[in-house]
Structure 1
Amino acid sequence: MIRVVVVDDEALVRSGFSLILSAAGDIDVVATATGGDALQTIRRERPDVVLLDIRMPDVDGLAVLNSLRSMPDAPVVAMLTTFDADEYIMTALRLGAAGFVLKDTEPEQLADYVRALAAGGVVLSPKASTTLMRGDRGLEPALDAEAARVRDLTAREKEVLRLVATGLSNGEVGARLFLGAGTVKDHVSSILAKLGVASRVQAALAAQRAGLLDGATGAGADAPGAL
């Protein structure tokens, strides 16, 4: 069972997500919490995945995420958002969030997102990632440099990055490319270093901005959570 904690200031969101996810046979929502109760609840329940509201009136989701970074065996965290503030999302990604999920995500997709997170994949809701990809004219030189770094990856690294960006775990990437999980992990480490990013989700965003996923085919590209 995948153990999940849902953190949101709205009771309706907490109960709705709990009901939807608990209907999946392999997911157990072990607790829900508000921002003020989040850290205590997460430390007590030791979930595999936390769905964390990015902005709450009592304790901000970014503060909770930052605190979780020092927790031994910290859970995988995806941010819940209505996506009306890009800068909050980018800060969350820099703090180690494994992705973001819109609160109006279709119910049938939520369980797939949680499974992807638990398996070590990244989750970037398509509508939200489209907003992130729009860019800003002032960022064009930086984005051009980023695209050049993506182009400079080896052919194998590009294959690995393309699959990582569709939400696959190292084991799943290895199965697709007939590589051991350790070899995939080494490739991912090399990709992060070459791109100058700190996480798989930041690498996935770089791949999207560089057009590496354009025309991607296969089950991974069609799976919920794929960019």
Structure 2
Amino acid sequence: MKILICDDEKMVCDFFSQVATSQGYEDIDIVHSGEDALTQVIRKNYDLITLDIQMPGVSGLEIISMLRSMCPHALIALISGYIPDEIPEEITSCADIVLSKPVGFGAFGQLLAGVAQICQTMEQIRNLGIIPAAVR
């Protein structure tokens, strides 16, 4: 599973990365700005993008719709210090989940497990159409 962590707080990025690594995920990229997130999504297709709402420069609010169109299959988790009800509907509608800070080990671990399960299911669905020549 390919994970992109986007947050301007190094401690948050390190924490999410440590949780993911402890659960066996190794393909993890970390960026600290919205601009860098857009650059990474051009280079690589991600399964999970965690996106802080408020960052210097281009914020998560400004790029979420771009990320959604550039990487439509990725699950996008908005991470916010705001209460989810305070976030505009047009923003939350682009996200798959909104998590309020602080995000604990258990909650982030559950998110990773859920995304991994979705990825596995999608791979199984994709493989349904593949029939080896020897079986036909």
Please say whether Structure 1 and Structure 2 have the same fold, judged by a TM-score greater than 0.5. Answer: yes
- 1:114-133 matches, within 5 Å, as 114-120=112-118
For structure 1, list consecutive stretches of 5 or more residues without a partner in the other structure: 121-170, 172-180, 182-227
% identical equivalent positions: 26
- Matched residues in 2 for 1:86 and 1:10: separation? 23
Cα distance, 1:100 vs. partner?
1.1
**Residue-pair matches, total:** 120
Deviations 1:155-175, CA, capped at 9 Å, x for gaps: xxxxxxxxxxxxxxxx7xxxx
SS state at 2:51 partner:
strand
Higher mean Cα deviation, 81-90 or 103-112?
A: 81-90
1:30 and 1:47 in contact (8 A); partners too? no
Deviations 1:119-173, CA, capped at 9 Å, x for gaps: 45xxxxxxxxxxxxxxxxxxxxxxxxxxxxxxxxxxxxxxxxxxxxxxxxxx7xx
2:84 and 2:98 in contact (8 A); partners too? no
Cα distance, 1:45 vs. partner?
2.7
- 1:141-160 matches, within 5 Å, as none
Matched, 1:69 2:68: yes
Higher RCO by CA contacts (8 Å cutoff, separation 6 or greater): 2
Q: Which residue of 2 aligns with 1:100?
A: 98
Q: CA RMSD in A?
A: 2.4
- 1:1-227 matches, within 5 Å, as 2-25=1-24, 27-33=25-31, 34-71=33-70, 73-84=72-83, 86-88=85-87, 90-94=89-93, 96-120=94-118
1:82 and 1:103 in contact (8 A); partners too? yes
Structure with greater proportional strand content: 2
Change in CA separation of 1:112 and 1:66 when aligned onto 2, cut-off 3 Å: same
Structure with greater proportional helix content: 1
- Matched residues in 2 for 1:72 and 1:5: separation? 12
